[in-house]
Amino acid sequence: MNFAIPTNWQDDFLPSIGKPGVALEIYGKLNSDFFGGGKHSFQLPYVSKRKIERDIIAIHKAGFKFNYLLNGTCLNNFEWTAGGQRKMRSLLDWLVKIRVDAVTVAIPYLLVMIKNKYPGLRVAVSTLVGINSVPAARHWEDLGADRITLLNTDVNRDFPLLRRLRKEVNCQLQLIANVNCLYRCPFYLQHGNLASHSSQKGHRLKGFVIDYCRISCRYRQIVNPAEFIRSPWIRPEDVGYYEDIGIDSLKLIDRGMNTFWISLILQAYLKRKYVGNLIDLFPSPLKTLRFNRFDPWHLSRYFFFPGFVNIFKLLKLRGLLKDPAVCIDNQKLDNFLEFFTKNDCNFRSCRDCGYCEKIARATVKIEPVSLKQSAGRYKECLDAIISGSLFTDQPRGNL
C-alpha cells in the first residue's frame, strides 16, 4: 500500500518522514491561489512560492513525488474569462517549471485542459467530486484521470462497491483513511464549496467564512457518540482489507496540522498498528499550526469584518476549539470491520441495525461535564447562525 501525506511547509516536516519503505506522495499548495482548495486559508500557515520551490527540490531529493492541489470545486465562472484563463495558465506554467509530478482537480474541464496543454502532468481527481459509483468513476477515467480519490463518506466501508470499482476501472484508486466526517454526510458538497471559495485568492470575501458544515457535523457527533463509530475512518490495523481489494493508496490528512501529528499518523499507518486513542489519528483544531500558535493578527485578517458579522458574537466561537475529551479505545476495535465485509449499509437503516451503537457503548468515552459544556457551545453557535443573530444584517420577515 502506498500513501499520500500532507506537507505543512515547515522546516521540520521532511526530516520527520524518514525513509518509509513505501512509495510516498506528498501533497500541498499555497494557502490561497486562483483555484482554491479543500481547506480554508485561515487554517493554514502562509507559504511563499519561493519556499515551495525549495521544498519540492528537497522532496525529490528524498525520493518522493509531489502533488499540487487545484481541487477547488467552483471558480466563480472566472475560468470562462480571458483574465481567468491567464491566471490559470500562469499558475500551471509555474507548477511545470518547478517540476511538480501531479495535480489534483475537482472540475472536469480542468482535467481535460491540463491533459491537453500540460501532458507531462499526472492528474488525480479529488474526493470533493463525490465519486461513489462505477459509472461516475468510468466517466472521469474516460476524461483522462490517472487516479481517483473516492468519496470517503460513502464508499470506505462499501466493500462490494470497492471490489466492483477495482474490476471496472484501470486508473489508480485512493481512499482517505483518517477521516472523521459523518457517514453519508449531508453537508459534504457544501463544505467543499465553502473551503474552495474561502481559499481563493482575490475572492471578494477575502477568506472570511463561517464553517456551518463543520460545526453541524461535530455537534451531531457530540450529542450522539455512535456517529464517531459510523464515521468512515480506516484503522491502521485494517489497511490489509483494502490492499487485498486492490486499492492503490491511502491519503492521510490534513495539511494544517503541525509536524508532530503528521509524523505520528504516518508512522501508525506504516506500522499498521496504533495503541491508544483512535481520536489521535484524526485532524482537530488543536492539532493545527494556526491554533497552536495563537496569532491575533492572523485571525483578524480573516474575521474582522464588522460589515459581515457581529464581531462580539463571533468571538464566542473560540470556545468551539475546546472539544470534549473523547476517547475511542483502538484496541477494542479489533475485528470491527468484519461486520461491513458481510453487510451492506446501503440497504438497512442505522436505527434498525444498531451495530455502531453497540460498538460506541463499548469503546467511546466522553467526560460527562465536558460533553455537556461542549454540546451547549455548539448548540448556541448553531442557533446564532440559523436565527441570523450572528450576522450584522438581520433577516426581516419571510422572503
pLDDT digits (tens, 9 = 90+) for 325-371: 899 999 999 999 999 999 999 998 999 999 999 999 999 999 888 88
State the pLDDT at residue 399.
33
**Following DSSP, what letter does each residue of 37-92 receive, concatenated?**
-SS-GGGS----HHHHHHHHHHHHHTT-EEEEEE--S--TTGGGSHHHHHHHHHHH
Find the helix or strand (DSSP H, E) in which 27 lies: strand 24-28
Mean pLDDT in residue range 311-324? 77
Q: State whether CATH 3.40.50.970 applies to domain 2-387.
A: no
Q: Is the pLDDT of residue 302 over 80?
A: yes
The pLDDT tens digits for 56-92 are: 999 999 999 999 999 999 999 999 999 999 999 999 9
Report the pLDDT value the prediction gives residue 314, as an integer from 0 to 100: 83
pLDDT value of position 240: 97
C-alpha cell, 37: 482548495
Q: Read out DSSP for 264-333?
A: HHHHHHHHT---SBGGGGS--GGGBHHHHS--HHHHHHHH--TTTS-HHHHHGGGGGGS---EEEBGGGG
The letter for the amino acid at 303 is: F
According to the model, what pLDDT value does residue 393 have?
Answer: 53
Q: Identify the pLDDT of residue 295.
A: 65
Q: What is the pLDDT of residues 227-261, one digit of tens each?
A: 999 999 999 999 999 999 999 999 999 999 999 99
Name the band, by pLDDT with cuts 50, 70 and 90, for residue 395. Answer: very low
For residues 172-185, give the mean pLDDT: 96
Q: At what angle do helices 368-387 and 212-223 cross, to 10 degrees?
A: 140
| pLDDT for residue 311 | 84
pLDDT for the residue numbered 371: 87
Would you say residue 384 has pLDDT above 70?
yes
Count of other CB atoms within 10 angstroms of residue 119: 8
How far apart are the C-alpha atoms of 42 and 152, rounded to whole Å?
A: 24
Question: 342 exposed, middle or buried (CB, 10 Å; 0-12, 13-18, 19+)?
Answer: exposed
Domain ranges (residues) in the chain:
2-387
Residue 397 has pLDDT above 60, yes or no: no
Query: Is 319 a residue whose pLDDT tops 80?
Result: no
Q: Which residues contact 282 (CB under 8 A, 6 or more apart)?
A: 178, 179, 180, 233
Which DSSP category does 393 fall into?
A: S
Contact 286, 39 (CB under 8 A): no
Q: Could you give the C-alpha distances from 326 to 103, 323, 367, 374, in angstroms and in order? A: 36, 8, 7, 11
CA distances from 171 to 105, 174, 220, 257 (A): 15, 10, 36, 30
- Residue 386: is its pLDDT beyond 90? yes
**DSSP 8-state symbol, 181:** P
Separation of alpha carbons 257 and 324, rounded Å: 19
Other Cβ atoms less than 10 A from the Cβ of 86: the count is: 11
Nearest to 40 by CA among 221, 381, 303, 304: 303
- State phi, psi for 24 to the nearest 5 degrees: -130, 130
Residue 194, amino acid: L
For position 396, what pLDDT does the model report?
Answer: 45
Mean pLDDT (whole number) for 25-54:
95
pTM exceeds cut of 0.85: yes
What pLDDT, on a 0 to 100 scale, did the predictor assign at position 394? 53
